[in-house]
Chains A and B, each alone.
Chain A
Amino acid sequence: MLQVKMLAEKVRLVAVPADKFKTGCISVSMALPMDEKMAANSLLIYLLKRSCKRYPDFSLLAGKLDELYGAVLGASVAKNGESQTLTLSITSLADKFALTDESIASESAQLLADLLFEPNCENGMFNAEALAMEKRLLIQRIEEEMDDKRTYAFKKCVSFMCKDEPYGKSKYGTVEEIEAVTEKDVYEAWQNMLSTAVIQITVVGSADVNRICEAFECRFRSVERNPVQIETVFVQDGGELQRYEEKFNVNQGKLVIGFRAGMDHRRDNLFAITVMNDIFGMGTYSKLFTNVREKLSLAYYCWSRLVPGKGIVLVESGIDTDKEKAVTDEVMFQLSELINGKTDPEVLESSKRALKEKYTFTSPEGIQNWYASQVTCDDILTPEDMINGFEGVTMEQVCTAASKLSLDTVFMLSAEEGNDEN
C-alpha cells in the first residue's frame, strides 16, 4: 500500500512496496522554476549521473552498475507544468536474485544518495573536463531534436503557442546559456537544488523503504531547506489563431494543432477532460482514429495528447503536405461532432474501460512515473482515484469539456516542393 512520509520541508517520500516485481526502483525528482538557471540545472543532473566522490570517473561508475547486475541509472530533465523537473533514478535487481550473498538494493540506494550528495567536486567547483564534455553532449542533444520530425514538430508547436509563457522555453535552457555555464555555476546550481527544489523520492518494488528513508533523511539533515513555490500560468482561451510553417526536405509532413483546454489548474475538471481527449483522439474507437485514419486513409497516425500540467491539447498527424487543409478540416469537424453529442454512448463506455486499463500499471516503471509526475502536487492521486473519477464522467460533461477546447496555434512541418511525390 501507498506510504507517504515527509523527510524534510517539501521533501516527500512516496513508496509503493511490492515484492511481486523482480526489481526495486528509486527515483528522486526535483522541481525548480523555469528561470535563467535552467541551463546550469540541466548540466548539473547529467554531471551527477556521471560520477561521484566514490566513483570519480565515468567508466568506474559504469563498471559498478554492471557489477550490480546491470543496475540502470537514469537522469532526465522534463517540463512538469512550468517547472523544470530534474530526476535521478536507479533500478536494480531484487536481492533474492543475486548469485552471491550481497544486498543489491541497499548498495543501489547508497549509490543514488552518493551521486546526489557527494558529487565529484573540489574547491566549490565541478571538474572542468567533465563539464566540457557534458556541455558538448547536451548541446548535441538539443541540436539533434530536429532529427525526429514528429517530436520536433510537437515541440515547435508548443514553443510557438506558449511563446509568452515560461512553458514555451526549451526544457534544457538555450545553447547560448549552456555554453556560458561555468564550473562554479553548476556547483551553485547543485547547492540551490538541494536547498530550494520541491523534492519527491519515489520508491517502487522490493526495496526496503525504511532503509531508504533513513539513508535520505540523514543526508537532508545537513541541508538548509528554503523550498520555492512553483506556479504555472494557465491560459484558458486560444485567442486569434496563429499558423507557423517550416520546410524540410522530407517525405512526410507533420501537422500539429494546438488547443487550450480551458483549465485553470492541473486538476481542473481533469476527469472529464481526460475522457474527452481519449474519445477525441486517443483510442482506436476515437474520432480521429476512426475517421482520419480508418475512413479517409489520410494518415498512419492522428492522435490528440492532453498535457494537464499546462492545460493544453495537441493533435498530431503525419500527412502529405498538400493534405493539410483536408486533415485540419476533418479534425475540426470531428471536434464539432464531439461538442454536439454525436458520439455513440458505447464509445464513452469503451473509453472508460480503456482508461481504466491505462491506469492499471503492470510495471514498476509505470507506477513510479505516475507518482513521480506529482512531485509538485500537494495531495497525491492514486491510479484508483483516477479510475473512480473517470467512472463518474457523463456524456454531457464530455461535450462541455470539448466545447472548452479553443484553437490556438497550428504548426506545419512541410515537405519542400518537388519532394512530395503525390
Chain B
Amino acid sequence: MKIEVITNEKLGEKVYVYKHSSGLEVRVLPKEGYDSAYAVFGTKYGSIDTSVKNADGEFETIPEGTAHFLEHKLFESEDLNAFERFAATGASANAYTSFEKTAYLFKGSENIESSLEILLDFVQNPYFTARTVEKEQGIIGQEIRMYQDSPDWQVMFNLLRALYEKHPVRIDIAGTQESIARIDADLLYRLYETFYNPANMVLCVVGAVKPQRVFDIVEKNIKNSSGNPAERNFEKESGAPVQNYVEEALPVAHRQFMLGFKEELETPLLTLEEEIASQIMLDAVAGKASPLFKKLLDEELIDMSFGSELFNGFGFSCVMLGGSSADPKKTAKIIADEFERVNKEGINPEAFERSKRKLYGRYVMMYNDIDDTANLLMNLYFNGYAPFAELEACKGITHEKAQNRASKILSSNAALSVIKPIS
C-alpha cells in the first residue's frame, strides 16, 4: 500500500493520501486532541452536469435536478435506510448537492469505524423503486418551493440566468417541479453507474482517526471498478450577458441586489492562484476596510450585509457583489466606476497587503473545524490540487497578479439582478 504524506510545517498538519486501485483517492488528516471525526465521500457530479456521455460517445441531456434527486434517494435501501443505520452509531449524517459535486458525510465521536463502513456502503449500494421515487418528488417539491420564497436564492439565480445563456450553472440545483417529475428509477440507475464510480470520487476524513485504519476500511469496502472520471462538456460562452438587468417582486421589506461581472473563459477552469488573487483583489477593493464600502455606507446605499465573492467552476466564472440597497442601479454604477478606476490607477498597495494577510489568516482558520477541513480537502482534489495548495498559492500572490484579475472585471460584461418589494 503506497501512502504519501504531505506536511505543512507552519500549520502543523499532515495529510495522508492513498490512491485505491479503483481510482478512488483517500485523504486523511488526523487531529491530535480531537474527540470527533468528520468524513465526506463525494462525487464530481453536480447540478451543472445536465448532460451525460452515452455509449455512442455523444452527450445526452438529462432532466434538471437529477444530481440532487439522486442524493436524496441514496439514503434509501431495501431494509434499513442510511439514517437508521447511523442512528445505531450515533453519528450525525447528511448530504448536499452543489453546482459541481454531491457529498455524503457524517460526524461522530464513537464507533467512527462503523460509521465509515456505513458511509462507504450506502453510497455504493443504490436502491430505487417507482414508489420511493414518487415519495421523494413530494419532499423535494417542498424543498423547491422553500427556495422559491428565498430572496437570497432568487436574487442569485436571476443573476445567473441574466449572465449565462447556455451554461447549466443558470439552472436551479434542485431542478423544477416539472423536471423532477420526469425522473424515474431507471434513469437514476443509469446516472448512478456513470457518476458514482470510485474513479470519479474522493473520500476525505479529518479528526480522531488513524490513517492506516481508514485505508484498511477502504481496502475492504470499496468495490473495484474499471470506471473512469466522468467527462464534462466545455462549451465556450462569450463574456456578454444575456440581459443587463432583471428584477422580480417578492414579499420583502427592502430592495436587494446582486451585481455580476462575467468573465470570458478560454479554458474551463481558473487556476487556484487566479482564484485566490481574485479574492484578495475583491477584499482590497470592496471589503469592509475599503473606501468603496465607506462611500456606499455613508451615502445610505448599502448595509453591513454588503459583500463580494468570486463565483467560479467548470466553464463559468463571475464576480458577484450584493446586499440590500435603497437604490440598486445607483449602487451598481458606483461599484462599476470603482473597478474602472482600479483598472486605471491600480489597487492600493497597502490595501492589497492587508487583504492578503487577512485571507491567509482565514485559510489557516479553516483548519480549526474538522468539517471545513474535510470539505476543503475534497474541493482541492476535485480541482486537481494537493492538500495545502491554497496556503502556498496565497503566499505567492503578488500585487501584479491581483491587478491582472481586476482587469477581467468589465462593465460591458455586467448584469444587475434586483428583488423589489411587492407594492
Contact = CB atoms under 8 A, between A and B. Distances in A.
Q: Do the two chains belong together in a single complex? A: yes
Interface in B267-312: 283, 287-291, 293-294, 297-298, 300, 303-304
Contact of A66 (B34, B109, B146, B354): B354
A113 interface: no
A285 B92 CA distance: 11
A24 to B, nearest CB: 11
A378 to B, nearest CB: 28
A251 B176 CA distance: 13
Contacts of B362: 69-70
Contact of B254 (A144, A284, A301): A144
Contacts of A149: 149, 251
Given A146-B251, A284-B83, A69 B361 contact: yes
B357 interface: yes
A80 interface: no
A293 interface: yes
Interface in A343-366: 346-347, 350, 353-354, 356-358, 360, 362-364
A251 B252 contact: no
B360 A99 contact: yes
B97 to A, nearest CB: 14
Contact of B368 (A23, A68, A249): A23
B257 to A, nearest CB: 13
B207 interface: yes
A66 B289 contact: yes
A362 B87 contact: no
A22 B145 contact: no
Given A70-B358, A353-B87, A357-B36, A251 B303 contact: no
A337 B153 CA distance: 38
B4 interface: no
A384 B361 CA distance: 32
Interface in B354-393: 354-355, 357-362, 364-365, 367-371
B146 A22 contact: no
A59 B286 CA distance: 12
A301 B146 CA distance: 10
Contacts of B238: none
A68 B360 CA distance: 11
Contact of A360 (B10, B109, B303): B109
A174 B364 CA distance: 41
Contact of B92 (A143, A144, A357): A357
Interface residues of A, number: 66
A99 B357 contact: yes
Given A136-B300, A357-B92, A70 B361 contact: yes
B102 interface: no
Contact of A362 (B146, B207, B288, B290): B207
Given A22-B368, A144-B254, A360-B36, A97 B90 contact: no
Contacts of A369: none
B200 interface: no
Given A93-B364, A300-B143, A362-B107, A67 B357 contact: yes
Q: Categorize the interface residue count of chain B.
A: 35 or more
Contacts of A357: 36, 90-92, 107-110
Contacts of B140: 300
A69 B357 contact: yes
A144 B324 contact: yes
Contacts of A284: 83, 86-87, 93
Interface string A312-326: 000000111000000
Given A59-B289, A99-B360, A137-B304, A318 B142 contact: yes
A71 B358 CA distance: 8
Nearest to B361: A69
A297 B139 contact: yes
B1 interface: no
Q: Which of B139, B177, B355 has the most CB of A within 10 A?
A: B139
B146 to A, nearest CB: 5
A252 B148 contact: yes
Contacts of B367: 22
Interface centre among B34, B146, B293, B359 (most CB of A within 10 A): B146
A165 B107 CA distance: 39
B370 A362 contact: yes
Q: Which of B143, B283, B371 has the most CB of A within 10 A?
A: B143
Interface string A130-153: 000100110011011111111000
Contacts of B254: 140, 143-144
Interface of B: 10-12, 31-36, 38, 83-84, 86-93, 107-110, 135-140, 142-143, 145-146, 148-151, 177, 207, 250-254, 256, 283, 287-291, 293-294, 297-298, 300, 303-304, 324, 354-355, 357-362, 364-365, 367-371, 422
26 contacts: A23-B365, A58-B288, A66-B289, A66-B357, A69-B357, A69-B360, A69-B362, A70-B357, A70-B358, A91-B365, A133-B297, A140-B253, A146-B251, A249-B251, A252-B148, A284-B83, A284-B86, A300-B142, A320-B145, A353-B88, A357-B107, A357-B110, A362-B34, A362-B36, A362-B38, A363-B368
Interface of A: 18, 20-23, 58-59, 62-63, 65-71, 91-93, 96-97, 99, 133, 136-137, 140-141, 143-150, 248-252, 283-285, 293-294, 297-301, 318-320, 346-347, 350, 353-354, 356-358, 360, 362-364, 421
